[in-house]
Amino acid sequence: MSERLDLKRSAISGARWMSTTTGYTLALQFVQVAVLAHFLTPTSFGLVGLVVVSVGFAQAFADLGLTHAIVQRQDGDDGPIASLFWLVLVNGAVLSVLFYTLAPWVARLLLPPSAPIETTNVGAALAAPELELLLRSVAPLFIVGSLGHIPASLHQRALRFRTLGLLESGVMTVGAAVTIVCVSLGADAHAVVYGLLAGTFARSIAMTASVWSNWRPSLRLRRSDLSGYLPFGLYQTGERAVNFFAANVDYLIIGSVLGPAALGVYYAAYQLVILPVQKASPVLTRVAFPVFSRAQDDDAVLQEGYVWIARLVGLFGFPALIGLGVTAPVFVPLFLGEGWAAAAPLVQLLIPVGLFKSLGSPIGSVFLAKGRADLGLKWNAVLAIVHAAVFTAVAAQGTGAVALAYVVMSGCAFVAGQLLLRRMIGLGIGVYLSALVKPLFMSAAMGIVVALAQIGVTGSKIDPLHFLLFLVSLGGSVYFLLVAKMDRHLIFQIRSWILGADA
């Protein structure tokens, strides 16, 4: 009982710190997206999306899955960690060389000659060469980033979420600031590259300095040190790679079939939907994974923790995404600029994708905590094949068809994931869904009220900013009153977390 209480306290403390820093970095990234949208054309924004996807896929291989292996092992033996550090560093150097060398081939693959290319500020004929230059410019990121992977895993294994949260908030600030300054000075899509590099340098320096007094890599690289970590890590690497491909193959297909301009609009819309999910996922996975790992043999604890995460996702994620969908016609042109109005319908179509992804993200933490990285690999490989086939089949019909297909596949994947989770830890689907009924009802009621308010003022001459503030205030007030009426106990628990008390 004492161990379970300690785990609960660690999870609460970690969630509190990671939630606070996540809120800050989410706001920062929304600002960054808005600034980029105001300075970049849809085509340039599409090029940014292709760079981000390419870097993200390569980063799946950056640490060879060894950082998660360190957390999962929970044996406290730091002897082999030095060998892992040097292996990750060598791997980072190899990735940088490969990324630079393969940049021309990747650019031609992502923007084939048949892809429609609209005029940009660099000229239509230069879009593919510009993508090649962007990819080559970002290549040093991998070797620099490799310096920070092992130090970060040591913090995560020790449940030092406060330290991780503060460090990564500072790193995000550096990267966003460099991006915003550079794009405002006319760097165009290259501003994102400069921001990525600056943020990576800052992260490596900060993570290394934060562990230097307690741990530093000795000159040790032994094959025997790797045996307990590498098999798990390689499965984890494969799982992350196919997971990233499955989650981003829509970008690749839209870019090659419809061109970078269409991709730019779709990318902007998807970022508005997925940013809250992407920023909430570290709160879920980086807290859940090490905590679940310590209770990996206790299915009752895993069930309780998973259901509790579902309640939190529903409480905060449902109203945010539903509110975004309802207000998209007002929010998108105001936030991104009038030239991006075409992204509003895509935002509304993609809202269910955000909901399903936010609910499904903790599944991977259960797989890893149970030592079943192989199961995550197989699961995401199936998703990758299905996504690639379906998106290829519907891409010619436009970005709306891609968005609708994504909604259907996300719903099917969510149901299948819960069935798999039931077999793994015995979590009943009814128990899980019962945790989502209240937040779904409250969020839907809030959305209906806000939608009716929009219909009621149709045709009136209200300033868009004031109108949006009114809708947000109305939706927030309605949702708060519903939560206070229907789930007051949860509010008291969250209040105790914020104040640092036990839940």
- Compute the distance between CA of residue 454 and CA of residue 450 in angstroms, rounded to an integer: 6
User: Which residue has tokens 């509003």?
Assistant: 344
Query: Residue 199: pLDDT band by 50, 70, 90 thresholds?
Result: very high
The pLDDT, as a whole number, for residue 337 is 86
Query: Residue 380: pLDDT band by 50, 70, 90 thresholds?
Result: confident
- Compute the distance between CA of residue 396 and CA of residue 484 in angstroms, rounded to an integer: 47
Alpha-carbon distances of 93 from 13, 143, 200, 234, rounded to whole Å: 36, 5, 14, 18
Query: Residue 363: pLDDT band by 50, 70, 90 thresholds?
Result: confident
**Residue 42 near residue 350 (C-beta atoms within 8 A):** no
**Residue 168 near residue 25 (C-beta atoms within 8 A):** yes
Task: List the one residue out of 409, 441, 142 whose CA is nearest residue 249.
Answer: 409
- DSSP output for 35-98: HHHHHS-HHHHHHHHHHHHHHHHHHTTTTTTHHHHHHHH-----TTHHHHHHHHHHHHHHHHHH
Query: Residue 121: pLDDT band by 50, 70, 90 thresholds?
Result: very low
The pLDDT, as a whole number, for residue 297 is 60
- Compute the distance between CA of residue 419 and CA of residue 302 in angstroms, rounded to an integer: 15
- C-alpha torsion angle, residues 457, 477, 440, 375 (rounded to 10): 110
In the predicted model, is pLDDT for residue 9 greater than 50?
A: yes
Query: Residue 73: pLDDT band by 50, 70, 90 thresholds?
Result: low
User: Which residue has tokens 């230059």?
Assistant: 133
- DSSP output for 254-300: HHHHH-HHHHHHHHHHHHHHHHHHHHHHHHHHHHHHHHHHHTTT-HH
Q: In this predicted model, what pLDDT tens digit does every residue of 459-479 receive, in sequence order?
A: 677 888 889 999 999 999 999
Q: In this predicted model, what pLDDT tens digit does every residue of 146-168 receive, in sequence order?
A: 988 888 887 777 667 677 777 87
The pLDDT, as a whole number, for residue 162 is 73
In the predicted model, is pLDDT for residue 388 greater than 60?
A: yes
Percent of the chain topping pLDDT 70: 79
Mean pLDDT of 375-380: 75
In the predicted model, is pLDDT for residue 326 greater than 90?
A: yes
Amino acid sitting at position 63: D
The pLDDT, as a whole number, for residue 77 is 56
Per-residue tokens: 313: 């996702």
Query: Residue 5: pLDDT band by 50, 70, 90 thresholds?
Result: very low
Mean residue pLDDT across the chain: 81
Rounded to two decimals, what is the model's pTM? 0.79
The pLDDT, as a whole number, for residue 177 is 94
In the predicted model, is pLDDT for residue 370 greater than 70?
A: no
